[in-house]
A and B are shown apart, each in its own frame.
Chain A
């Protein structure tokens, strides 16, 4: 297992730049029913589901920081939301020692739902009112479904970016 700072600089940041560029161009332009799919959030949740809660939280935080820098949202806002997404998906993955791919997809869905819903909540708590509306019930499901569909790609990618390895199980020799 790589140390997190090493993985952060050599893996996560280059991958995040590419994913963020896709977010800023493709996802911002081509929306699903007016909702922008959040691929960076999907990666944060994938990192949590693939590498565990602590690494997922830090990876999500780093991805969110880059998002804030690139998009112009208040610095730390998306970082907090995406950190929570990585932490949540990593936390729920601890219920099983070796999750199947579909179980990983569910964990990513939970993490991304928490992350997307956390943004208006954090905005509200920091004085930016007007976003806690019924539109959340439209936005969160679309983002969650998209993250679930992307999870077969983003869980291994997130695990690699966070410097973790897939757990292997070996039978104890008799």
Chain B
């Protein structure tokens, strides 16, 4: 059969077959292809285990010989880092508890209310043009395509392929990866005066998500017992949102700040390159600055629930002739040294996947 095919026909046949397969695979939900992948993952698993069993001791011995000093130095640095983080951890736990109490009070959900399943990273992408890892949990553990994956530091990617006992996770640096993110930028509140008579809201919000702009101020109040229901006006709160508040006859407000929430799409640019943050509202860029924390935005069309840390803004570069500057984000997670991760059991909207 082969001898009857000329070289040109071989080329045409290969290209057409490949393009047909790529098209079928990219359209998704192809049962035959999915089953083939699952079957192949089962077949290749013993070979992987054998290859790892043979190679790991050799590699470990080699590293032990050639990098002993580096390992010692890294170990010492890590011990120092742990000592420093112990104090920060206590502060962070307190802050988390306060935040969770506030969220509960306001009937809002937190990423901490969503269960996750722990997994170990068992492989990196063997290709140079793919940023993925393989983890030890699969459909038997409740993992599904599209679920966000985090490590201790923040979002690392999303599940793209699920097998019974393992899954493939596309890292956030992959150019195909996009997630809706938000940055909470702090703006000095010019409208606040040092001494004023005002009505201060002690809020019990009626179950609505947080408004994009939330106003905060430091307030000292002397309260007389009279209760009233107030509709909050102004730019900062959605019209019609009601709160039950204790009105005050005298209050002193010190200058405060507003936290402005900017949303946009965060996408990868390849390994070893920062993430790109495209803000929906370009005019908001005056508020976004280097050092701001970026986290997932949440929402029905988002891949991940709200408030999973993604990274820190490292550069805001304006381009000549273009209104939209480049906002670069350095991921919190160290994507080259992943070992244990957590798959958040949050099933995103199909449109987000």
Residues of A within 8 A of B59 (CB): 29-30
Whether a CB of chain B sits under 8 angstroms from the CB of A10 is no
Do B51 and A26 have beta carbons less than 8 Å apart?
A: yes
6 contacts between A and B (CB under 8 A): A25-B48, A69-B40, A80-B18, A80-B22, A83-B14, A119-B128
Whether a CB of chain B sits under 8 angstroms from the CB of A53 is yes
Do B176 and A128 have beta carbons less than 8 Å apart?
A: yes
Whether a CB of chain B sits under 8 angstroms from the CB of A18 is yes
Q: Please name 5 further chain A to chain B contacts, defined as beta carbons within 8 Å, in addition to the given A38-B127, A71-B125, A76-B19, sorted by A numbering.
A: A17-B47, A69-B40, A72-B160, A80-B18, A135-B271
Q: A interface, by DSSP: helix, strand, loop or mixed? A: helix
Q: Report the minimal beta-carbon distance from A134 to chain B, rounded to whole angstroms.
A: 10
B window 21-52: CB within 8 A of A: 21-22, 24-26, 33, 36-37, 40-41, 43-44, 47-48, 50-52
Which 8 A-B residue pairs are closest in the complex by CB-CB distance?
A130-B175, A76-B21, A80-B18, A21-B47, A76-B18, A69-B40, A75-B25, A21-B51
Do A72 and B168 have beta carbons less than 8 Å apart?
A: yes
Do A79 and B18 have beta carbons less than 8 Å apart?
A: yes
Residues of B within 8 A of A18 (CB): 47, 51
Q: Which residue of A lies closest to B37 (CB)?
A: A69
Whether a CB of chain A sits under 8 angstroms from the CB of B256 is no
Do A76 and B129 have beta carbons less than 8 Å apart?
A: no
Do A73 and B130 have beta carbons less than 8 Å apart?
A: yes
Do A53 and B175 have beta carbons less than 8 Å apart?
A: no
Residues of B within 8 A of A57 (CB): 10-11, 14
- State the CA gap A84–B24 with chains docked (Å): 21
- State the CA gap A78–B130 with chains docked (Å): 12
Residues of B within 8 A of A133 (CB): 270
- State the CA gap A139–B36 with chains docked (Å): 30
Whether a CB of chain A sits under 8 angstroms from the CB of B124 is yes
Do A34 and B20 have beta carbons less than 8 Å apart?
A: no
Whether a CB of chain A sits under 8 angstroms from the CB of B323 is no
Report the contact-size class of chain B (Cβ under 8 Å from the partner): 35 or more
Q: Which residue of A lies closest to B58 (CB)?
A: A26
Residues of B within 8 A of A76 (CB): 17-22, 25
B window 121-170: CB within 8 A of A: 123-130, 132, 160-161, 168
* With A21-B51, A72-B168 as contacts: A126 and B10 at CB distance below 8 Å: no
Name the one of A54, A58, A66, A78 contacting B127, with C-beta atoms under 8 angstroms. A78
Interface string of A152-170 (1 = CB under 8 A from B): 0000000000000000000
- State the CA gap A140–B174 with chains docked (Å): 19
Whether a CB of chain A sits under 8 angstroms from the CB of B80 is no
- State the CA gap A135–B127 with chains docked (Å): 13
Whether a CB of chain B sits under 8 angstroms from the CB of A92 is no
Max chain B C-beta neighbours (<10 A), residue from A20, A61, A67, A76: A76
- State the CA gap A76–B1 with chains docked (Å): 22
* With A21-B50, A25-B48, A76-B21 as contacts: A131 and B43 at CB distance below 8 Å: no
Do A73 and B175 have beta carbons less than 8 Å apart?
A: no
Q: What residues make up the interface of A, taking CB atoms closer than 8 Å to B?
A: 3-4, 17-18, 20-30, 34-36, 38, 53-55, 57-58, 61, 66-67, 69-80, 83-84, 87, 91, 116, 119-120, 122-123, 126-131, 133, 135, 139, 143
- State the CA gap A30–B123 with chains docked (Å): 11
Q: Which residue of B lies closest to A40 (CB)?
A: B126
Q: How many A-B residue pairs have CB under 8 A?
A: 153
Q: Report the minimal beta-carbon distance from A90 to chain B, rounded to whole angstroms.
A: 9
Q: B interface, by DSSP: helix, strand, loop or mixed? A: helix
- State the CA gap A67–B44 with chains docked (Å): 11
Interface string of B269-284 (1 = CB under 8 A from A): 1111000000000000
- State the CA gap A69–B18 with chains docked (Å): 13
Residues of B within 8 A of A126 (CB): 22, 26
Do B127 and A83 have beta carbons less than 8 Å apart?
A: no
Do A24 and B176 have beta carbons less than 8 Å apart?
A: no
Whether a CB of chain A sits under 8 angstroms from the CB of B65 is no
Q: Report the minimal beta-carbon distance from B157 to chain A, rounded to whole angstroms.
A: 13
Max chain B C-beta neighbours (<10 A), residue from A17, A21, A53, A78: A21
* With A54-B7, A72-B37, A116-B128 as contacts: A130 and B268 at CB distance below 8 Å: yes
Residues of B within 8 A of A22 (CB): 51, 55
Q: Report the minimal beta-carbon distance from A84 to chain B, rounded to whole angstroms.
A: 8
B window 49-79: CB within 8 A of A: 50-52, 55, 59
Q: Report the minimal beta-carbon distance from B261 to chain A, rounded to whole angstroms.
A: 28
B window 167-189: CB within 8 A of A: 168, 174-176
Name the one of A4, A17, A61, A71 contacting B130, with C-beta atoms under 8 angstroms. A71
Residues of B within 8 A of A72 (CB): 37, 132, 160-161, 168
Whether a CB of chain A sits under 8 angstroms from the CB of B90 is no
Do B44 and A120 have beta carbons less than 8 Å apart?
A: no
Do A120 and B129 have beta carbons less than 8 Å apart?
A: yes
